[in-house]
A and B are shown apart, each in its own frame.
Chain A
Amino acid sequence: MKLNPYRKYFPIFVLPCLVAFLIAFIIPFIMGIFLSFTEFRTVSDAQFVGIENYIKAFADGSGFLESLWFTVKFAVISVITINVIAFFLALILTKSVPGTKLFRTIFFMPNLIGGIVLGYIWQVIINGVLLNFNYSITSNPTFGFWGLVILMNWQMIGYMMIIYIAGIQNISGDILEAAKVDGAGSLITLTKIIIPSVMPSITICLFLTITNSFKLFDQNLALTAGAPANRTQMVALNIYETFYSRNGYEGVGQAKAVMFFIIVAVIALAQLYFTRRKEVES
């Protein structure tokens, strides 16, 4: 077999990227799994403790399960609202409504603003509204929950809308024309033609919204920081606090992180698997 002529270029083409990837990701990842079974403070002093950290992660007061449940509820609601609203906006904006370009510009803009900044913007707004009823966002975890949902919608709708628009514009005019000739109503057109044709967009939008909802950190930190009583704390923030706010709990934080990773990976892969299968069917 002839050697590939490009192979000797490995040091230039791959090595820099590979080294960075090893240092920034692969080694920390493997170390992370290892450390989750140990007790440590500075890494070099790690002592093997078996699955103790995993047991501690579920102990009372660790807040892991509560934050996980909060995150799941948040993710379900945000994923649905974001995708439904974004999809309908995309439908309207692909029709001949005046000013579509301007609207697209406006709806997309919040996505570029960073999570920390977004969090503080919404804190002012929500506190301002609640003040009329003598409440603040920390008065009740429900406020924080819906605050996060609204914030997330505000941020993500524009992005998803762009993806849906691209998907809808890809549908060939002929098919839609043919449907019209056959006398299909707009509802039938929507369910039988448009939705099946934008299945790839749905896959990617679901993927992005699910993973982003689960991984949400900056927005949570800035908007509520978990208040009141950590009951609006999402998993990512819970893990961060376990690591950095408590001495001696680094191992537990790492164990939580491993579980968090597994949960996110399973959900994301399951979602990709199911929606991809739908794509093939249609």
Chain B
Amino acid sequence: MLSFSLLALADDHAATAASLAIPAAIDAPDLRWAGLIIGLPALSALLCLLCGALKLRSKLPALITIIALLGSFVLTCMLFSQVGEGTPRVVGLFEWMSFSWGTGDRFQSFAAPFALYIDALTLFWMLFVTGLGSLIAIYASEYMESDVGKGYTRFFGGVSIFLAAMATLVMASNLVVLYLGWEGVGLASYLLIGYYYAKPSAVAAAKKAFIMNRIGDLGLALGIGLIWVNYDTVDYATLFRVLEAGPLATQGDWMPSAIPFLLMLGAFGKSAQLPLFTWLPDAMEGPTPVSALIHAATMVTAGVYLIARTYPLFELHPDALATVAWVGGLTAFVAATIGMAQYDMKRVWAYSTISQLGYMFLGLGVGSTFGAGYHVFTHAFFKALLFLTAGAVMHGFAGQIDIRKLSGLRRVPGFKLVSWLALLGCLWLSALPFSAAFFSKDTILTTALGSERSDFQFLGWLGLFTAFLTAYYTFRVWFRAFAGPVQFEAGDDHHDDDHAHDSHATASHAHAKSEFHPHGPRLGIRIPLIVIALGVVAAGWPGYDALFFHGENWVQSMMMHSSAMQGAGEVHGREIFGLSAHRMTSIVGTSACLLGIAIAYWTHLRDRSAADRARAALRGFFLTRWIPATLENRWYVDEIYHALFRLPLWVASHILHFFDKTFVDGFLVDGTGRVPVAVARLFQPLYNGVLQGYAATMAGGFVLIAGWVFWIWLRGNG
């Protein structure tokens, strides 16, 4: 019951959010040291590069990276204590782009200095980015130890590049610098997904992620261009001033209306939303810490950040936010259904990430930036925890991650802690009442259900159903892999296998194949896991604070004091079934969660064949036959893309290839090349190798020239 009053309190605080203006930014040259938050990871990347050049074979790169990231985190905390929810600060670091052209009336200029825009939203994001980044770097220092040497250096260099780029993205004071960071995180993501570059699937996944992100990035680049064309600035502070002063949307002019849709495209690409989500599951080819850091906790939330940051722009077109909501809601549902049918633990978490990101976009779309931001925050912790426990399992079982081949891990020595922490993550992901995710998810769903718009209400019901699916597939994994009888098969990751035996000095190599001993995680993995687990619990603190101590939700007030303030407060109190919206959401959400866990328990722990029987029943009846097939094949999205884009391009490329071979190469290039050959063949008899032949050619040429000159001379005289 207490949880319900949380939302009531939120109502009180909503107050006059919409009428508040975004506070004007002030210059703060005294905060120049904040540039070190970007600078430390960048320096660490350079040092890792140096380590790579020196062919260092030690854990030094990890040490450098961890120190740099911890430094960034400490600096971020200091910045938070100085700025907090206060006025946004702009810290100029150095001149970056500055052009001007034209004269008189046609004078135009473009300036994008490398400066930081520090407000509550920035700080909120930076806190968990640097904090989680440091923890995951510590985790990776043990996880990646089998690769000590060149690969280790490459990995930590990539992580450092990522952190530097992510900090640039979040702290940028204008859209161009944001774009720099945006592309930087894309690059780091590409480098780290393709970390095992000898594996074709990893290379393909890296390529896929990079190309799909390009589609989104094109939208973002065009959006930035349109913003500059329309408002003559790319600077946030100036942009917000301009937007506040002038009419937000001029009807009939397509250009300002197109801006939110283009920005949205960029956000969907980076955050793996519906049209562009297929890269994220494949990105699990990268090392698990990368999946945790980049593809679950931080980078994928860049899309949410972009929309929150440019929230005022999304009111330029009335349908912009509705589109975001629809895409988010549908993505949440579709990804959850796919997650139900996957066997690879990391892939299930990948689809759940997409699904949870869908919730965040739904929150943004229905007008609850507070809910979205809070969900980003809670999700970052529990999803990082889930990935890291999956990684610990993978590390211990030689790359084994298939939930059909793992069972009862909580009884395997060394994996007790991991199992219980995984359970914590699963409960949070299922939005158990009083968990942090429960607060954030319910805020989003309440806003949707409480909306006046019927389509938002529908999306709210869809979100509730998705919550049920989420609880089911989450516990399906946990009951399969961590509970039940002990039974496991080792993976085929021999590198890890050997390492396992090295650490268990008693085992002989002769038994390496026949006998497998899983090895539990050591301190480097355990400590970050515990710290993150504490973070998972603590992420609920703002909610508990509001609930039990009648304080203010910290996340809400952070959102309130930033550019995302427009949607930070309001939760409408519409009545549904005679209950207020938030009360209803809490009741239905809780029951959905419990129902999902119960079904998962029934089908995957008590009677493990029940799920297979259910699947067989579905397949047996012709009307439902499509359901398991579609889910197992991921809604055929990859196949649809293949048919829609790759196949036509393949055909077109072969046609062009044929044209290129026969006409361009064959006729133009080779044909041109054959002309001198043909001419040479004409004169070839002159080069018969006999001295006199050459002499005759020479004399003949001379004689011809002389005769011609004389002929001209004679005619000139006559």
Partners in one complex: no
| B interface residues with partner A (beta carbon < 8 Å) | none
